[in-house]
Chains A and B, each alone.
Chain A
Amino acid sequence: MSRTWHEARVLAIDPTSKGFGFVVFAQSMHLLDWGVATLEHNREARTLVRINGLLGRYDPEVVILEKTGVRGCRRGERVMGLLTAITSLARSQHRNVRCVSRAQVRQAFSKRGARTKHEIAASIVELFPELFPRLPPYRKLWMSEDSRMAIFDAASFALAYFDAEMKTISSH
């Protein structure tokens, strides 16, 4: 049984310096699960094991990651390597991997007037109020990024992907 994009279960992952954030959508706009995994030792291996667990539990058709190697991408080498490993892992299980760039995210959320990461996160909370308890406070210049922001980054990738798919379908 094959499913169209809006019926597919989608897992979006955003690796961070301390672990990763993830969001699982079912039937495009149903939020199934979300969370942040903080891993201390042996982070790369443990991240892959945790992601393999998520793939097994939710059996997503599509895995969404950040597109690297494009203008505006400020990812470090470790995370870029991890993204490559996650791509290999997902493809080895015959899952579709889609990469979304930050520019695509900004473009998708510009319609809602959201430009900064915090505005995008607030915009996601408007769509999914259940994420409100996880919304981090506004980041001041001297503060480092809250780990919970990874949930909103992953959600923004997934929503940008849905936006792009909708455009493709409407253009056809």
Chain B
Amino acid sequence: MRVAHKGTCQGSQAGEFLYSLFNSLIKVPPSHAPRTPKDLPQAASFAVFETLCPSARMKQQSHVPLMDHPTVASRHLHNYLRTYRKKSAFSQREVAYLLGTRSDTKISRHECFARVPSLRTVFIYEVIYRVPARDLFVGVFERAHHETLKRVECLRQHLQNRPSDPVTTHKIKSLTSILTQSRASAHKAP
């Protein structure tokens, strides 16, 4: 049996090999059972995921065509702690020591976006990596920035509908300057 994907990787008996290996490890559910030799590796990988990684549920597709243009929406990562740590050549344990914690689990959770660090920890990261917090936590910053601008716009519209007085005028001026300055400063990833 031969597995071959058009225009990509080919492997003689590779599918058969994977299929027998995965079948020996786990029982492939009937819904994921391969129908053709071409489906073998995909079916095997789905079965493995459902066994080893239950949270990683994926939609099974018999054939997904190769896309010529990227369509997956891509934003900044939640944070770039791992990138800066690796650039500094520190291990997670060393960073844990610098943070004043015993284990490196906390660092791992911050880097995997599983946990949001405390304000104190953010400042320590800023000291360790010599990078402003908004550059370390670009994703968080951008989300907060976007949400705040929306609220600023809402509040400005609300105040504009009110009868005019010096205090309201001053507030509207402040809100307008927030919007102008924020739009002018475009933020870039590291």
Give per-residue flags for A117-140: 1 if the beta carbon is below 8 A from chain B beta carbons, else 0. Answer: 000000000000010010000000
Given contacts A83-B9, A84-B41, A88-B42, contact A2 B86 (CB under 8 A): no
Q: Which of A34, A84, A89 contacts B9 (CB 8 A)?
A: A84
Give per-residue flags for A1-34: 1 if the beta carbon is below 8 A from chain B beta carbons, else 0. Answer: 1110101110000000000000000110011111
Instruction: Flag whether A96 is at the interface (Cβ < 8 A).
Output: yes
* A contact residues, total (Cβ < 8 Å): 53
List, in ascending order, chain A residues with CB within 8 A of B13's CB: 77, 81
Instruction: Flag whether B87 is at the interface (Cβ < 8 A).
Output: yes
Give, as a whole number of angstroms, the nearest-CB distance from B121 to chain A.
20
- SS class of chain A's interface: helix, strand, loop or mixed? mixed
* B contact residues, total (Cβ < 8 Å): 50
List, in ascending order, chain B residues with CB within 8 A of A33's CB: 82-83, 86
Instruction: Flag whether A72 is at the interface (Cβ < 8 A).
Output: no
Given contacts A65-B9, A94-B72, contact A27 B189 (CB under 8 A): yes
- Cβ contacts A to B, 13 pairs, < 8 Å: A1-B74, A30-B190, A49-B56, A52-B49, A57-B77, A61-B74, A81-B3, A87-B8, A91-B64, A92-B42, A93-B58, A94-B72, A97-B8
B contact set with A: CB distance below 8 Å? 3, 5, 7-15, 17-18, 21-22, 25, 41-42, 44-46, 48-49, 52-53, 56, 58-61, 64, 66-67, 69-74, 77, 80, 82-83, 86-87, 89, 112-113, 189-190
